[in-house]
């Protein structure tokens, strides 16, 4: 049976990424369909540590992993690095003496324990509550009164994570109530609230300037620098579309945009960006996901024999969330960019080759295994081949920060 790993980000009160919950699903559909907790967790661990690479999945943060009763008693979490995982005690775990002793031993040795999907007024749960370092509560499921009583009782003693935070009002209320961590659909696109601009890696600006000031700048190196940053790529394409540089013909690649603008003008634009250094991105997770999409689309295109189309696939991926990042309709954004019509069509949802691949990636991200399996069955890819390229895309994105 094929098990895939889905990541859901978890943020702290300062909107800094705290970690990822690693989720397990069956291949053919988004329901468990009787799959036991034990088998699901075993498959998740195998894929995370032995196939995908745990460090790449959690990106130097924390990995939240559910553990069923038997695995806790067997002390299975000890196979994993204590400084990197959060041991989630499933809500279905019976708080027996063996379980309590197992959790006590893990906690003694430095493992962080979290109670998943906390159930209020559960008999015999007291000892586990006392042992837990963190309590996860489905924010929309429990009453505000129940949550406040628990938060007040253990304030300063335990961390509280609000799950299924779906709206800005949910987030504001959870923040005011004193929650420490937040997880939910709202955080997959936090910039919808107030983001006006895409941030960029300011360290790259210096590297680009150094290259531009060389007697013979390396166009390939400049292309690599800018391709690695959504903010820079977006600004470059906007600049290339101005009347000054001639916007009559669409841009097919970042390399082409660089050639259109020229080194002298690029230096001026970089200086302007450096002056505006106060601009920061509050949507790092969304940008990270977009970069992975872009690289994965490029890899899928190359593996499909569409090497010459790789740039279009890449640009489509990194710009696929621009409407969320800029809080503007995609149609309005595309009107300002000199992109190839194939890219524009894909970003507007028209079913061309790029869009089909992009939709497959989105279904994979959402753990919609039925839609993803339909793509696999109609494509030249196997599950293993897709996962191989996905891992390469994560490696590439991760290397940008090294």
Domain boundaries, the chain: 3-188, 202-275, 284-399
**CATH for 3-188 (1.10.3720.10, 3.90.1150.10, 3.20.20.450, 3.30.360.10):** 3.20.20.450
What would the two tokens of residue 354 be? 């790029």
What pLDDT shows up at residue 380? 83
What pLDDT shows up at residue 76? 82
Is the pTM above the cut of 0.85?
Answer: no
Which residues have CB under 8 Å from 207's CB, separation 6+? Answer: 225
Secondary structure letter of residue 339 according to DSSP: B
Contact 178, 144 (CB under 8 A): no
What pLDDT shows up at residue 311? 78
What would the two tokens of residue 387 be? 């996962």
Write the Ramachandran bin of 121: left for phi over 0, alpha for psi from -120 to 50, otherwise beta: left
Contact 319, 298 (CB under 8 A): no
The closest of 15, 113, 25 to 64, measured between CA atoms, is 113
The closest of 364, 380, 391, 225 to 296, measured between CA atoms, is 391
What would the two tokens of residue 185 be? 């659909």
Count of Cβ atoms closer than 10 Å to residue 104 Cβ:
15
The three-point CA angle 285-5-295 to 5° equals 50
Contact 292, 321 (CB under 8 A): no
What pLDDT shows up at residue 164? 87
- In sign, the C-alpha dihedral spanning 370, 375, 339, 237 is positive
Count of Cβ atoms closer than 10 Å to residue 176 Cβ:
8
In whole angstroms, what is the distance from residue 3 CA to residue 31 CA? Answer: 12
DSSP H or E segment with residue 290: helix 284-303
**Residue in the block written with tokens 């200086």:** 271
In whole angstroms, what is the distance from residue 84 CA to residue 112 CA? Answer: 9
In whole angstroms, what is the distance from residue 206 CA to residue 271 CA? Answer: 9
Alpha-carbon distances of 347 from 302, 340, 341, 351, rounded to whole Å: 20, 11, 10, 10
In whole angstroms, what is the distance from residue 227 CA to residue 244 CA? Answer: 23
* 78-123 pLDDT, tens digit each: 877 788 899 999 888 888 899 999 999 999 999 999 998 887 766 7
What would the two tokens of residue 370 be? 């039925």
In whole angstroms, what is the distance from residue 314 CA to residue 347 CA? Answer: 12
The closest of 182, 138, 134 to 160, measured between CA atoms, is 134
What pLDDT shows up at residue 161? 94
Contact 257, 314 (CB under 8 A): no
Residue 378, phi then psi, degrees to nearest 5 = -95, -10
**Residues in the chain where the model's pLDDT stays below 70:** 1-4, 24-36, 40, 42-53, 121-122, 124, 186-203, 206, 235, 238-252, 264-265, 267-283, 336-338, 399-402
End-to-end CA distance of the chain: 35
The closest of 149, 160, 94, 152 to 127, measured between CA atoms, is 94
What would the two tokens of residue 108 be? 């003694």
What pLDDT shows up at residue 28? 39
Contact 321, 329 (CB under 8 A): no
- The residues that bridge with 22 in the sheet, in sequence order, are 7
């Amino acid at each position: 049976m094929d098990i895939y790993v889905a990541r859901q980000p978890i943020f702290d009160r300062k909107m800094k990424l705290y970690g990822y919950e690693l989720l397990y699903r069956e291949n053919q559909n988004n329901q468990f369909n009787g799959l036991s907790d034990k088998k699901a967790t075993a498959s998740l661990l195998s894929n995370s540590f032995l196939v995908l690479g745990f460090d790449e999945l959690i990106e130097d943060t924390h990995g939240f992993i559910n553990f069923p009763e038997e695995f806790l008693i067997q002390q299975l979490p000890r196979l994993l690095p204590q400084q990197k995982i959060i041991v989630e005690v499933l809500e279905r775990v019976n708080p027996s003496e063996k379980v309590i002793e197992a959790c006590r031993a893990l906690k003694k040795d430095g493992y962080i324990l979290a109670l998943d999907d906390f159930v209020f007024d559960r008999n015999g749960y007291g000892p586990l509550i006392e042992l837990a370092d963190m309590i996860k509560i489905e924010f929309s499921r429990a009453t505000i009164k129940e949550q406040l009583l628990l938060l007040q009782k253990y304030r300063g003693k335990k961390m509280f994570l609000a799950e299924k935070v779906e709206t800005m009002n949910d987030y504001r209320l959870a923040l005011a109530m004193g929650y420490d961590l937040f997880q939910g659909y709202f955080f997959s696109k936090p910039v919808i609230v107030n983001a006006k601009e895409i941030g960029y890696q300011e360290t790259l600006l210096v590297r680009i300037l150094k290259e531009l000031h060389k007697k013979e700048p390396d166009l390939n190196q400049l292309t690599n620098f800018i391709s690695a940053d959504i903010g820079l790529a977006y600004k470059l394409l906007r600049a290339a579309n101005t009347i000054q540089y001639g916007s009559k013909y669409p841009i097919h690649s970042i390399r082409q945009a660089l050639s259109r603008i020229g080194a002298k003008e690029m230096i001026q634009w970089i200086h302007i960006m450096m002056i505006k250094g106060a601009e920061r991105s509050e949507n790092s997770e969304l940008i990270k996901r977009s970069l992975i999409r872009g690289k994965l689309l490029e890899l899928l295109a190359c593996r499909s024999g569409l090497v010459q189309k790789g740039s279009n696939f890449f640009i489509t991926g990194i710009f696929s969330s621009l409407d969320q990042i800029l809080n503007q309709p995609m149609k309005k954004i595309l009107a300002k960019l000199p992109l190839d019509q194939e890219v524009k069509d894909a970003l507007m949802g028209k079913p061309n080759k790029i869009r089909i691949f992009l939709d497959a990636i989105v279904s994979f991200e959402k753990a919609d295994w039925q839609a993803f399996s339909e793509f696999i069955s109609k494509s030249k890819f196997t599950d293993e081949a897709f996962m191989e390229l996905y891992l390469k895309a994560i490696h590439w994105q991760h290397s940008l920060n090294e």
